[in-house]
Structure 1
Amino acid sequence: MTPFHRAREAARRLRQHIFKETAASGIVSHVVVTAVAHEDAENFLISDAPPSDRALGGADAMLDHDFQHIVVRNDVSTGERAFLVAHEFGHWKLHHETHDGCHKVVDTTLKPEDGETSGTQKVEAYGARERAELQANIFARELLLPRDVARNLFLSGRTADQLARELELPLELVRQQLLDGLLLPEPVEEASEPPKAFVPTAEQIAAAESKATTSLVKAGPGTGKTATLLMRVQRLLENGAKPEELLLLTFSNRAAREIVDRLQQLGVENAHQMWVGTFHAFGLEFLRKNCQKFSLQSRFGVADKMAEIAVLEPHIYSLDLQAFNPLGDPLDWLKTVVEAIQRAKDELADAATYAAAVEASAAETPADLLARQRDVAKLYNCYEANTKDNPHLVDMGDLVMLPALALTDNYESFKPSVGRFKHILVDEYQDVNRASAQLVKALAAHAETLWVVGDARQAIYRFRGASMRSIVKFGDDYPDHVPFPLNENRRSYEEVVRVFEYTGRESHPLQHLLPLDYVEPARGASGVTPLHVKCPTTDIVQGEVAANVARIHKLGVAYRDQVVLASRHDTCGETANALNASGIPALHLGDIFQRPETKDLLALLQLFIDRSGSGLLRLSRLPGLEMPTADVDLILTWLDSSRPEALSWFDAPPAGLSKNGIAALQRWKSIFKGLSSKDSPWDIICSLLLDRTHILAPHLAGNTILDITRRIALWQLIYFLRVPDGGHAYQTVGSFISRLRRRLRIGDDRELRVPPPEADSLDAVAVMTIHGSKGLEFEAVHVVDIDAKHFVMATAPDLMPESLLQSLDEEENLEERTEASNKLYVALSRAREHLVLYENQAGTKAKCVSAISNAAHLLRPVQGVATAAKPAEPKAATIGADHHAGQCEFQGFMTYMVCPRRYYYDFVKNLKPAVGLHPAALIEGAVMRELFVPYGADPSIVANDVDNTLSSIGHAFKDSLPHLRVYANSLLSAGRRLIRVPRAAMAKPFQVKCAGLLINIAAHNILSTGKNAYTIDFVRTKPPGKLGRQRSSIRWMLKHLAATNQNLSFNARIHVLSTGDVETMGPDSPRWDNKFTVSAAEGLLAGNFEARPNQWECPKCRHFLHCPA
């Protein structure tokens, strides 16, 4: 049970105690507050005061414990007043120490636009003060309107707005309680068993009672690392240390929460006065306390990756970049640049240090890479200048680097804020980077003790900037340290221990530097030998996973005590789908922006800003928004030609709608009345779901794991709409859509794939990546696909100069090779009793990772034969042959190869949404239309496509207009140099036949290069992508032409306007070109238009928000 769940339960008990049988009904807020104030004759005094009153001290409300007095500001509504008072009651019931008042209401602020940035919320979610505030918020919400009461009232017909008015509650509070009550699973209270007596080992006692100034506890998997850490805290307190003198740093909010929970369970007095949290949370608090010394405002935001890119993007055009092209859409390379800047900060390198490192490594750096690094140096200098001038923003790297450098250079200046910390404890020390290691060093230099715990063989976060050097070379930084090895494993049975021990010793690159001690399994042998299941196909892998999960479940192991681990997110999704299709509950959210239920909400938002109305295809099937298909098609066709303002067609619809279509349109008009694209997406979705429609209704029934997962995904998305984005304080629908696409393209949405804590008690198999399993343990672990390709050495980031990175050892790539082995070591060591490894032998290059092959004597080989049940596939759109008459255009054929559903929208439905797309994509299309006209058209007709496109670009990109004009002119100039005229007609189309499908090929030019020899030219604005569908299609076309015209020879060229590159290819088509091209032609002829989700392609697609529909 988390501290937040305990707060909720405390509020429920109090409400039940006071109101008895009426507690389960809606009660007006002031009645609740008054009753609590007089509970058990406590007679709290509640008084109101102006916000400027000294009694408030700048807070919204103030609790005086000694006099049982609450002072609340007098300029708030009745509902807000009730919330603030209930919040202070939460402190009274939960936090019995003196409380300094609620200066802000963290996370659940009643005004979303006043909330913290998403970056700040990620960091401060488990700081000491924030933890107390969040608990008090949750207590207040549950006291005034319990989740289950909110749910029951909503299901009986009340709306959020009605509840807010009837119960005199803030609408925001009602919305949150409704969403939580309707969409989150209720945590299941497990039968409490008396805790097993903990008997520490001699090694644990020695580590906990260390008298050394500096102690390094080497704790392998399952050796009681956290228990030893808690013992250390207890021993320090028993020996006279004060709680406020302890600083405990860790790397995740989950780990911090677990430590605080267990300290409370152990009855550690005044545990709340310890500082427990992440390095970033510590840095945030440090900078807030010393904001003036860093030229920051007292309340500043923390930039996430999106905000970091936003700092740089306006300035990239004036930096004379040589390797990175600032014109067009720079997002893909800006992502790598800001990642390099953050990595440099991990290495304590400011812009000047980075630039010097680039030049120091210049002689050994390839020319193309050196050009990119020199560009990064320019960009870093620009980024640094602009962030230093912004007193309202820091980034994630600053949160550790700035305190580390400041405390190293001038500790005395900051002694008032950190001088109280006499004992420094660090969890998971193997995950530190140079900045966090230096921060620890600076703090420890003025503390009495430093006590760190970690395991070099569990260092797997190098891709985030962590370096195992700090723990492997700990003695270099702390030569007088005392090591304390923990070698008794209390988690796993001997059979499991011997497997991961073997991979951590016999084939581990770190063995010569840091030999692995013998591990003693305290639980002894179980008689259950780990399995190595060899599977010929992926289908059999999934079938064997389902069969083994079911077999182990029959042995008495609950589903929630089993986990499936994989290296890739897509493998997790496929395996979870297979398990659920087999009737085995598996919890996996995956990419929530690809889920059908969340796409419904995205399509709703799209409608507010999209003149094409493409979302109608999807929305016309939702409860209350049903509309006849013929009317939908009529409206979409009319919108395509007339392009009125979004939603204006409610008042001026096209002629010809049916009677049912007109009635449906009237319903839509009523539902959307008063809502605007300038509203926040949170307000719009909450209003539509909780006040105006029954869209939620189909999702509220059912309690299968798939039902629950759908509701959790909706909850994740809706709350995501509420968080201010990056450095911006407030989102509108338009800004949200644009930023969402960009966020997905840079992969900054991964946290939404982690279910909330309420899902922890669900009896379902967990499915996660190996990196996500760090710190967890399960009775049964299924490691999917132990193919060698998933455990290969990761290369160092190429934008980091070699001289900036500390080397672990003279041996080349030792740290990279070590981390690859560590990943397997971590996966295997999560298991307590059952360990099942699945080798996927599909593919010509499939090969089992050698560490497992070499451990064959410790595993029982099994030949996989079971096949997986197939998940129910959503019905794909199909069209008859009359829609394509057995032929298609070459451009359409290439679109089909990328995604059949995209072809369906582009060439069958003729939809043209542009919302959220970067305007560079629109400019590129306009340039091609200005350069070329179809064969037979008059090229002398002047075109104004670029000017028209630039004039249509919205306010969000107004600052980019001059640069987009330069980009357009650059492309036009390159194109006219190529065609040598202002505008040209394309070549006469010709046809090729593929698997019975006629493909009409319209090249930009066909040139005779000699007797019976032809060169076919294609022009594009940007280089082809890595997958090269155009290349595959062209190579296949050339091969086909050569086979059917044996007396002629053909080659082709792709001209790229943005780079000037020309790629030439002949008819030497590889086998896979035939496979891909023929299968695409067969699918198109069959009318198969299934969606083909792809994490890179989809966010760039114009149909992303409503697909599949």
Structure 2
Amino acid sequence: MPGVIPEKVNVEQQAAITHGHGPLLIIAGAGTGKTTVVTERIADLIMNRQVPADNILALTFTDKAADEMQDRVERILPYGYVDLWVTTFHSFGQRLLQAHALDIGLPDNFRLLNQTEQWMLIRNHLDEFELNYYRPLGNPTKFISALVKHFSRLKDEDISPEEYIKYARALTKGKAKKSLPEEDVAEADRVMEMAKAYETYTKLLLDEGALDFGDLILYTLKLLRERPAILKKYQHQFQHILVDEFQDTNWAQFELIKRLAAPRNNLAVVGDDDQSIYKFRGASVSNILEFEKDFPDAKVIVLTKNYRTKQSILDLSYQFIQLNNPDRLEAKIMDGGALHQTAQDGELKVVKRLKAQRDGQGEIELMHVQTQEEEARVVADKITEMKEKNSQAAWNDFCLLVRANDHAELFIQEFEKRGMPYTFLAARGLFTKPLVLDVLAYLRLLDNYHESAAVHRILGHQLFNVPQRDIIELTHIAKKKAWSLFEAMEHCDEVTLSMEGNKGIEQLMTLVASHTALAQQKNVGEVVLAFLNDSGYLKDITKVDDTKSRDLVRLLKQFYATVQKFLAGKPEGTVREFLAYIQHVTESGDAGALEHDVESGPETIRIMTIHSAKGLEFPYVFVCNAVDQRFPSMDRKDAIEVPDALVREILPSGDAHLQEERRLMYVAITRARDGIFFTAAEDYGGTRRKKPSQFLYELKLLEPPVKAKSKAEPLPERLFQPSPPTPMGSFIGVGAGNDRYNFTKLSTYAKCPWQYRYAFVLQVPRRGSYQLSYGTSMHNALKNFFALWNTRKTDASLKSPYVSLEELLTMYERSFVDEWYDTKKKRSDYFAKGKESLTEWYKQVSKYPPEVLAVEQPFNLKVEEFVINGSIDRVDELSKNKKTGQARVKLVDYKTGKFKDKFEKEDKYQLLIYMLAAQDPNILNAEVEELQYYFLDENKDNTLKPTQKDTDAAKEWVVDSIKKIRSGDFRPTPSKIVCSFCDFKEICEFRAI
């Protein structure tokens, strides 16, 4: 049927579209029209070669790509069809397994678990896993995410539990454990622990009637291997198979493809090894690199005509990516291979170099500045300048690409300051959006009136309009009377509040009373809708049809989809059960997926990660934060790695991580049509200046560097607090609290100034923690022990040890703080752990009794004009200075956490503050010889011998921290580690999860 091939396709594209039988590798460089080739090839097979539509299988990686491909094919075909198998790998596996589940012993109505649900399954059955190495008592869920990822990687490599256990046994097979080195035995035990955990996890899934995404491929392979008749059925059906983005396939997916394609091998794969950037998701670039070995008779077609980017930018990207040789496909195929042609002089002529089909040279520039704030300013300046010069330019012609989401913050702040429209296309973060935090805070309030953090957030919302001064008054009386914030609201007549504040509180109390009753009768979905409607929230965000309102409605829709998903598994799910579900979701590290339609929506500057930009294009692209350890990023290996002996993927000869980062830069550069701009700064707020990214040298952009000058006036040294799109409880005018400080306050400020603001400026009441309860129990027991010890020591008739073990354990039992433990078992475990630790500690103390000078020694230390207070757990006298009579002492601080063999900066500062206090003539007037942390759980110590340099650094840290606090500089510094343990993460829109 003539006319199916569009006239505009080039020679190489047409050859790929019309290829007949046999394997075909289409190497499609960036911007070469691969989607056109795939869709036109499907249409050609149907219309010109009379292949029935349901005899063609086209596989890709995202639902969006599959939908787009199917839409294009449908537009090309002049008639309908029975079925078109254009689908993702996982949807294809799910379809086959649902049809043939019983053939391999699976439930035909299996549930499909996402990554978060896998985490929750393991968490709920943690006691069934025989974990030792990977289950620390202090944080038993610490390694669950690592386990989930490990199991996923095993499935990517098509490794079964039986194979893993067999490998683990082989590590010690035929060898007596006693004859093996201790480290070899420990490693063998660790591997066996993982192998058995994998077996347990697999069994749990089947017991629950569930599969995870990796199972969809693994069990489909099992089906085709163990049921030859079913394999033959689908081999006969799928006469032609096409795979898009082939470089992103993992080992198991390629195995599945090869089995289905045999024996015809009418397999066409489209990909580009230079754009393989999903190693963290299990992608195996070796699949495309080794394709010709699997299919020696494969035809290879290279698409080199680029319809997107100007030549100078293409040349830049090409010379750069060649640094990945010899582990690139272009370099691997030898003389005479399909990717090369022999020139007249006998040398190889490489044909993978992309050739621009658009005239003119692109703009390439490096903007290298001093500070990160200046970096944001020069980007904003450049965009403004280019838009002014080109009247046709639109805001969405510009895109900022960052290596990680948190690198975008200062650019966002600068755009907001200037009123420049932007859209931040983060892939995750639904549960940190202000609107979602509002709804969750209200649900927490309904579930527990004494959840003061939630009450604080709701009180400060514009719906109720309670002035911040009134909230501070309520917080003050709550603290004074030992009330929750809700109880303070109930007694608000005892406080002088504004008329506006009283009105808002009355409105909130009425709403809470109504919805509390509703929550006892209806599921959480109905309660959420009632809040949105009764409070006027929904009305408020929908009354104006603008970009902001549409974004809020979109977020609300996505959040309500989360509620509906929860209710699908528990139709009568209550508010409390939903909150527990959300707690588990966030504990797993899931911040909530965000959906964006990049190619539609308002005219704004786009900000996104490079991974998110794959497949997109923009006239002007800015690659930001091009500095060492940001891009390329640091190599973060899997916490639990698959043993090399089990990995089937062929590993590169070079640095795999650096090569992946280089491919990521290549993808970033090739998103640009007309201009590519690289930005870097020297100062990103740390103690060391950042070095430029090695990629800038490899791109030959630093000879010489282009020093960009900002047109904007420099911002003052102290920036104002950021203003979220929908402020909740944000109050700039509050002072920094009283003039007395302690190490806890300063270390909180060092972790995150915004956390300090919640804790010590606004003084938001917060929930206790079982770790704190346990630590307090141990400290109190030892305090009482040495108090009695020192008392009895003065009795000459008594000998050491002055206090018995039985007395110590009795003190511990009486001191034990029985609060905030999640379960009775956890309380019992911690109580037993404390007894065991103290028993071992007692052996050491009774054998080598210290000369205890003071216990819980309080101090108020003056550092310049500031006062630091605190208490030293224990002061041991080592000797006397005969000349001065001063005691030479060791300061001991007890810890109940995990032993640290190295002193972090802040660890030193705590002990050094204690040392300054002990040396003070008005406190102890002692000579400090040693500083020691004693880790009670492991009965290990770490001792520091202080230097003058250490002391000076501690003083400087104290003074600098307090000055920043008093200046009101509370800019948030979120990080996954800090935020995951923050008491205010539920109400903080800046949290990083």
If the length of structure 1 is used for normalisation, what is the TM-score? 0.73
SS in 2 for 1:293: helix
Do structure 1's residue 380 and structure 2's residue 198 form an aligned pair? Answer: yes
How far apart in 2 are the matches of 1:913 and 1:857? 51
Do structure 1's residue 799 and structure 2's residue 641 form an aligned pair? Answer: yes
Give CA deviations for 1:729-788 in whole Å, capped at 9, x if unaligned: 775433443443443344323632x4256x723211111111111111112111112224
Structure 1 match to 2:67:
257
How far apart in 1 are the matches of 2:506 and 2:216? 53
Structure 2 match to 1:815:
656
Structure 2 match to 1:482:
299
SS in 1 for 2:35: helix
User: Once the 2 structures are TM-superposed, how far is the Cα of residue 456 of structure 1 from its aligned partner?
Assistant: 0.8
Q: Is the 8 A contact 1:1014 1:1049 kept in 2?
A: yes
How far apart in 1 are the matches of 2:636 and 2:668? 21
Q: Is the 8 A contact 1:306 1:726 kept in 2?
A: no
Give CA deviations for 1:889-913 in whole Å, capped at 9, x if unaligned: 3333333332344344445655443
Give unmatched runs, 5+ long, in structure 1: 1-195
Q: Is the 8 A contact 1:230 1:259 kept in 2?
A: yes
What residue identity is the alignment partner of 1:1066?
K
Do structure 1's residue 526 and structure 2's residue 360 form an aligned pair? Answer: yes
SS in 1 for 2:103: helix
Do structure 1's residue 887 and structure 2's residue 740 form an aligned pair? Answer: yes
Once the two structures are aligned, what percentage of the paired residues are identical? 21
What residue identity is the alignment partner of 2:745?
G
Q: 1:1048 aligns with which of 912, 927, 933?
A: 927
Q: Is the 8 A contact 2:157 2:649 kept in 1?
A: no
Q: Is the 8 A contact 2:136 2:142 kept in 1?
A: no
Residues 906/528 of structure 1: CA separation in 2 closer, same or farther (3 Å cut):
closer
* Between 485-494 and 552-561, the greater mean CA deviation after superposition: 552-561
Give CA deviations for 1:503-525 in whole Å, capped at 9, x if unaligned: 12255452443586343424244
How far apart in 1 are the matches of 2:214 and 2:770? 31
How far apart in 2 are the matches of 1:1084 and 1:857? 40
How far apart in 2 are the matches of 1:738 and 1:1027? 37
How far apart in 2 are the matches of 1:323 and 1:376? 9
Residues 381/1013 of structure 1: CA separation in 2 closer, same or farther (3 Å cut):
farther
Do structure 1's residue 536 and structure 2's residue 370 form an aligned pair? Answer: yes
Structure 1 match to 2:819:
949
Q: 2:30 aligns with which of 216, 221, 230?
A: 221
| RMSD (CA atoms) | 4.0
Structure 2 match to 1:175:
none
SS in 1 for 2:159: coil
Do structure 1's residue 546 and structure 2's residue 388 form an aligned pair? Answer: no
How far apart in 1 are the matches of 2:464 and 2:456? 11
Q: Is the 8 A contact 2:460 2:471 kept in 1?
A: no
Do structure 1's residue 278 and structure 2's residue 88 form an aligned pair? Answer: yes
What residue identity is the alignment partner of 2:315?
R
What residue identity is the alignment partner of 2:44?
R
* Between 541-550 and 695-704, the greater mean CA deviation after superposition: 695-704
Q: Is the 8 A contact 2:919 2:927 kept in 1?
A: no
Q: Is the 8 A contact 2:225 2:231 kept in 1?
A: no
* Between 403-412 and 926-935, the greater mean CA deviation after superposition: 926-935
Do structure 1's residue 1037 and structure 2's residue 901 form an aligned pair? Answer: no
Structure 1 match to 2:344:
none
SS in 1 for 2:890: strand
User: Once the 2 structures are TM-superposed, how far is the Cα of residue 1019 of structure 1 from its aligned partner?
Assistant: 2.1
Structure 1 match to 2:464:
625
Do structure 1's residue 1078 and structure 2's residue 959 form an aligned pair? Answer: yes
What residue identity is the alignment partner of 2:121?
V
Give CA deviations for 1:822-859 in whole Å, capped at 9, x if unaligned: 11111111111111122333375633344442443899
Structure 1 match to 2:975:
1094
Structure 2 match to 1:41:
none
User: Once the 2 structures are TM-superposed, how far is the Cα of residue 464 of structure 1 from its aligned partner?
Assistant: 1.1
Give CA deviations for 1:240-292 in whole Å, capped at 9, x if unaligned: 11111111111112211221222233345336821112111112222222232
How far apart in 2 are the matches of 1:666 and 1:827? 54
Residues 1027/787 of structure 1: CA separation in 2 closer, same or farther (3 Å cut):
farther
Structure 1 match to 2:942:
1063
Structure 1 match to 2:402:
566
Q: Is the 8 A contact 2:398 2:605 kept in 1?
A: yes
Q: 1:352-363, aligned counterparts within 5 Å?
A: 352-358=162-168
Residues 801/1047 of structure 1: CA separation in 2 closer, same or farther (3 Å cut):
same
Do structure 1's residue 784 and structure 2's residue 624 form an aligned pair? Answer: yes
How far apart in 1 are the matches of 2:10 and 2:97? 41
Structure 2 match to 1:1016:
891
SS in 2 for 1:737: helix
Q: 1:298-309, aligned counterparts within 5 Å?
A: 298-309=108-119
Residues 986/388 of structure 1: CA separation in 2 closer, same or farther (3 Å cut):
farther
Q: Is the 8 A contact 1:935 1:988 kept in 2?
A: no
If the length of structure 2 is used for normalisation, what is the TM-score? 0.81
* Between 760-769 and 381-390, the greater mean CA deviation after superposition: 381-390
Structure 2 match to 1:211:
20
How far apart in 1 are the matches of 2:651 and 2:989? 51
SS in 1 for 2:869: strand
What residue identity is the alignment partner of 1:769?
T
What residue identity is the alignment partner of 1:513?
K
Structure 2 match to 1:232:
41
How far apart in 1 are the matches of 2:526 and 2:135? 39
Do structure 1's residue 1106 and structure 2's residue 987 form an aligned pair? Answer: yes
SS in 2 for 1:557: coil
How far apart in 2 are the matches of 1:249 and 1:763? 33
Residues 372/897 of structure 1: CA separation in 2 closer, same or farther (3 Å cut):
farther
Q: Is the 8 A contact 2:424 2:607 kept in 1?
A: yes
Q: Is the 8 A contact 2:401 2:609 kept in 1?
A: yes
SS in 1 for 2:593: helix
Residues 1039/1005 of structure 1: CA separation in 2 closer, same or farther (3 Å cut):
closer
Q: Is the 8 A contact 1:994 1:1081 kept in 2?
A: no
User: Once the 2 structures are TM-superposed, how far is the Cα of residue 493 of structure 1 from its aligned partner?
Assistant: 1.3
Do structure 1's residue 607 and structure 2's residue 445 form an aligned pair? Answer: yes
* Between 458-467 and 900-909, the greater mean CA deviation after superposition: 900-909
User: Once the 2 structures are TM-superposed, how far is the Cα of residue 496 of structure 1 from its aligned partner?
Assistant: 1.4
User: Once the 2 structures are TM-superposed, how far is the Cα of residue 714 of structure 1 from its aligned partner?
Assistant: 4.4
Q: Is the 8 A contact 1:561 1:778 kept in 2?
A: yes
**Equivalent residue pairs, number:** 895
Residues 920/1038 of structure 1: CA separation in 2 closer, same or farther (3 Å cut):
closer
What residue identity is the alignment partner of 1:622?
H
How far apart in 1 are the matches of 2:590 and 2:110? 21
User: Once the 2 structures are TM-superposed, how far is the Cα of residue 360 of structure 1 from its aligned partner?
Assistant: 5.7
User: Once the 2 structures are TM-superposed, how far is the Cα of residue 808 of structure 1 from its aligned partner?
Assistant: 2.8
User: Once the 2 structures are TM-superposed, how far is the Cα of residue 567 of structure 1 from its aligned partner?
Assistant: 0.6
How far apart in 2 are the matches of 1:1027 and 1:1081? 23
What residue identity is the alignment partner of 2:398?
Q
SS in 2 for 1:1005: strand
Structure 2 match to 1:343:
153
User: Once the 2 structures are TM-superposed, how far is the Cα of residue 571 of structure 1 from its aligned partner?
Assistant: 1.1
Do structure 1's residue 862 and structure 2's residue 706 form an aligned pair? Answer: yes
SS in 2 for 1:223: coil
What residue identity is the alignment partner of 1:465?
G
Q: 1:447-526, aligned counterparts within 5 Å?
A: 449-506=266-323, 508-511=325-328, 512-513=331-332, 517-526=351-360
* Between 459-468 and 972-981, the greater mean CA deviation after superposition: 972-981
How far apart in 1 are the matches of 2:153 and 2:485? 43
* Between 716-725 and 1009-1018, the greater mean CA deviation after superposition: 716-725
Structure 1 match to 2:239:
422
Give CA deviations for 1:45-79 in whole Å, capped at 9, x if unaligned: xxxxxxxxxxxxxxxxxxxxxxxxxxxxxxxxxxx
Residues 444/547 of structure 1: CA separation in 2 closer, same or farther (3 Å cut):
same
How far apart in 2 are the matches of 1:548 and 1:1027? 44
What residue identity is the alignment partner of 2:320?
T
What residue identity is the alignment partner of 1:1021?
T
How far apart in 2 are the matches of 1:876 and 1:721? 31
SS in 2 for 1:836: strand
Structure 2 match to 1:437:
254
Give CA deviations for 1:475-494 in whole Å, capped at 9, x if unaligned: 23223322121121121111
Q: Is the 8 A contact 1:304 1:396 kept in 2?
A: yes
What residue identity is the alignment partner of 1:625?
F
